[in-house]
């Protein structure tokens, strides 16, 4: 980060390397961390670690894609974990209650569908009344969680339908290294596909550019002829869809369905997305940055374990790193940012940057 600021001749090249949302810095941090960990403990540089990190970040990445889209529009949705577990748990209950066998893909479709419906509820209220998503989703969190536990079920389900059980043991790669086998779960394929899809949507469609426009300045977006309510409605529906898929993935990987799952994880995912360069002031953020943010946090957790940091220190360490990461971002973009929320002054600058990102 320091050499970026100090060197003069290579500035333009380095600026490009740094990326519009500091993805470069993030990638650099990640590489340095991985190299350092490898030097401290050679065990770190192994296929097992890579697969482990991939497995532990897959679900978070799918959630984070939804969160990213919401944050780009300068809103915060805290209901996605509840939507995820609601969709997954109800699907498992539904499939269990049916006599006919249900394939894995239809199961995911059902979960995605339930997620979409819940997302539509959020979206309808937000789009109709133009109210802050944070407040509305705080309310729907209560309704969804309470509804799930009261009307669908509150019991832990230990054995999943056969199709999901089989899926949970399906691996893309199995690598045998020094006697121990490590596996990369097949879910990596849909996760990568979803990342590509969201990235294309964000950068190549009017809808995606509309999200950036709304985040930059909602009034300008309106005057530019975008149908803000329609975009918001479809946005929250897609967030619900992604959350439903993520929840189902989680349940499949865990091989259990626990309706109390995910309580309090919303802020962790939001933190990862913001660490990935998405601005809480709206109008900026990218899929690459988001994935890097999630992976960075997973690597940090993993490294702390490997370095023998007691597990009680984990949360404090993540907190410290989060504060340091955000502070570094803040100092890096000092000119754009001011204390407190001053959206009207600040929001104008990022939009111009993000447009250059599209044409890149």
Residues forming contacts to other proteins in the complex (CB under 8 A) are: 76, 78, 125, 129-132, 134-136, 138-147, 149-150, 154, 263-264, 267, 270-271, 274, 280-281, 312-320, 322-323, 326-327, 330-331, 334, 337-342, 344-345
Measured from the CB atom, is 85 or 163 closer to other proteins?
Answer: 85
The least CB distance from residue 263 to other proteins, in Å, is 8
Radius of gyration of the chain (CA): 21
Instruction: Pick between residue 256 and residue 333 the one whose CB is nearest to other proteins.
Output: 333
Least distance in Å: CB of 130 to other proteins?
A: 8
Residues whose CB falls within 8 Å of the CB of residue 218, separated by 6 or more in sequence, listed in order: 74, 228
Which residues make beta-bridge pairs with 176?
A: 181
Closest distance to other proteins from the beta carbon of 65 (Å): 20
User: Judged by CB, which is closer to other proteins: 27, or 136?
Assistant: 136
The minimum distance between CB 138 and other proteins, in angstroms, equals: 6
Q: Identify the bridge partners of residue 174 per DSSP, sorted by sequence position.
A: 183
> In angstroms, what is the minimal distance from the CB of 178 to other proteins?
35
Among residues 175 and 337, whose Cβ is nearest to other proteins? 337
**CB distance 136 to 8 below 8 Å:** no
Q: How far apart are CA 289 and CA 287, in angstroms?
A: 5
Distance in Å, CB of 322 to other proteins, minimum? 4
Shortest Å distance, C-beta 312 to other proteins: 5
Q: Compare residues 99 and 344 and give the one whose CB is closer to other proteins.
A: 344
Please say which residue, 213 or 270, places its beta carbon nearer to other proteins.
270
Least distance in Å: CB of 101 to other proteins? 31
Nearest approach, Cβ of residue 16 and other proteins (Å): 26
Nearer to other proteins, 47 or 149 (CB): 149
Residue whose CB is less far from other proteins, 28 or 153: 153
Judged by CB, which is closer to other proteins: 67, or 164? 67
Write the secondary structure of the chain as one string of H (helix), E (strand) and C (coil).
CHHHHHCCCCHHHHHHHHCCCCHHHHHHHHHHHHHHHHHHCHHHCCHHHHHHHHHHHHHHHHHHHHHHHHHHCCCCCCCHHHHHHHHHHHHHHHHHHCCCCCCHHHHHHHHHHHHHHHHHHHHHHHHHHCCCHHHHHHHHHHHHHHHHHHHHCCCCECCCCHHHHHHHCCEEEEEEECCEEEEEECCHHHHHHHHHHHHHHHHHCHHHHHHHHHHHCHHHHHHCCCCHHHHHHHHHHHHHHHHHHHHHHHHHHHCCECCCCCCCCHHHHHHHHHHCCCCCCCCCCCHHHHHHHHHHHHHHHHHHHHCCCCHHHHHHHHHHHHHHHHHHHHHHCCCCCCCCCCHHHHCHHHHHHHHHHHHC
């Amino acid at each position: 980060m320091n050499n970026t600021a100090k060197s003069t001749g290579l500035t333009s090249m380095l600026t490009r390397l740094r990326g519009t949302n500091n993805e470069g810095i993030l990638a650099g941090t990640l590489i340095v961390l991985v190299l350092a960990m490898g030097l401290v403990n050679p065990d770190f540089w192994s296929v097992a670690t890579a697969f482990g990190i991939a497995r532990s970040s897959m679900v978070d990445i799918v959630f984070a894609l939804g969160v990213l889209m919401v944050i780009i529009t300068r809103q915060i949705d805290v209901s996605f974990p509840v939507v995820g577990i609601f969709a997954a748990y109800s699907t498992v209950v539904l499939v269990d209650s049916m006599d006919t066998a249900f394939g894995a893909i239809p199961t995911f479709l059902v979960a995605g569908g339930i997620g979409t419906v819940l997302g539509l509820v959020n979206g309808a209220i937000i789009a109709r009344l133009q109210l802050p998503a944070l407040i509305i989703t705080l309310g729907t969190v209560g309704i969804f969680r309470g509804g799930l536990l009261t009307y669908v079920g509150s019991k832990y389900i230990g054995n999943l339908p056969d199709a999901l059980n089989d899926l949970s043991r399906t691996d893309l790669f199995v690598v045998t290294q020094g006697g121990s086998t490590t596996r990369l779960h097949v879910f990596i394929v849909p996760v990568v596909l979803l990342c590509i899809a969201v990235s294309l949507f964000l950068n190549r469609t009017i809808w995606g550019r509309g999200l950036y426009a709304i985040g930059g300045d909602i009034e300008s977006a309106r005057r530019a002829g975008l149908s803000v309510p329609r975009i918001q409605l479809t946005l929250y529906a897609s967030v619900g869809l992604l959350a439903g898929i993520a929840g189902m993935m989680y349940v499949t990987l865990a091989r259990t369905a626990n309706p109390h799952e995910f309580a309090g994880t919303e802020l962790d995912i939001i933190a990862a997305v913001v660490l990935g360069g998405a601005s809480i002031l709206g109008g900026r953020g990218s899929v690459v940055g988001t994935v890097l943010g999630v992976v960075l946090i997973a690597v940090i957790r993993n490294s702390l374990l490997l370095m023998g940091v007691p597990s009680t220190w984990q949360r404090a360490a993540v907190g410290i790193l989060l504060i340091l990461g955000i502070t570094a971002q803040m100092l890096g973009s000092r000119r754009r940012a001011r204390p407190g929320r001053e959206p009207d002054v600040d929001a104008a600058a990022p939009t111009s940057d993000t447009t250059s990102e599209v044409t890149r």
